Amino acid sequence: MKYSRQRECILNNLQSRRDHPTADMVYESVREIQPNISLGTVYRNLSLLADNGQILKISTGIGPDHFDGFIEPHNHFICKECGIVIDMDFIPNENIVKKASENFEGIIESYELQFFGKCKDCLKNNN
């Protein structure tokens, strides 16, 4: 994979924040440094970086995909009202991949644990 300024800038952006931006949010943010970058470039590089394991792609089922530059093992909470993605520090005790692999024909490479409910703010606002 050849170096590109745009890809580096996208990765830097994701690694320097702890929210979970959508492609569009990354685009808006990166545009402040690379004003001519195109949305397609952002999408393409987010895919490349996620395939590479340098970032995480989070598909919530609510609106667009989100991305995460923090790749240490952790899980996510997704608010069914507003769609916000929040880091959860809880991690299961068991070796989930190992246990699930028993009696399974195929290779399990990873898992994703997502929690759903209402976030603090939506509770307060009675959404």
* Chain positions contacting DNA, by CB under 7 A: 1-7, 22-24, 34, 36-41, 43-45, 47, 63-65
Cβ atoms within 10 A of the Cβ of 36, count?
A: 7
Position 70 contacts a copy of itself (CB under 8 A): no
Q: Are 79 and 87 in contact (CB under 8 A)?
A: no
Say which DSSP state 5 is in: H
Nearest distance in Å: CB 5, a copy of itself: 28
* Residue located via tokens 């895919």: 47
Position 127 contacts a copy of itself (CB under 8 A): no
Closer of 6 and 75 to DNA (Cβ):
6
Q: Are 51 and 43 in contact (CB under 8 A)?
A: no
Got the DSSP string for 55-79? SEEE--SSSS-EEES--SS-EEEEE
Asked whether the CA dihedral 52, 55, 56, 62 is positive or negative, the reply is: negative
Closer of 90 and 112 to DNA (Cβ):
112
Nearest distance in Å: CB 98, a copy of itself: 10
70 binds, among a copy of itself, DNA, none (CB under 5 to 8 A by kind): none
90 binds, among DNA, a copy of itself, none (CB under 5 to 8 A by kind): a copy of itself
d(CA 55, CA 71): 6
Name beta bridge partners: 79.
117
Among 16, 36, 93, 126, contact with a copy of itself (rule: CB under 8 A):
93
What residue ranges bind a copy of itself (CB under 8 A)? 57, 59-61, 65, 75, 77, 79-80, 86, 88-90, 92-94, 96-97, 99-100, 102-120, 122-123
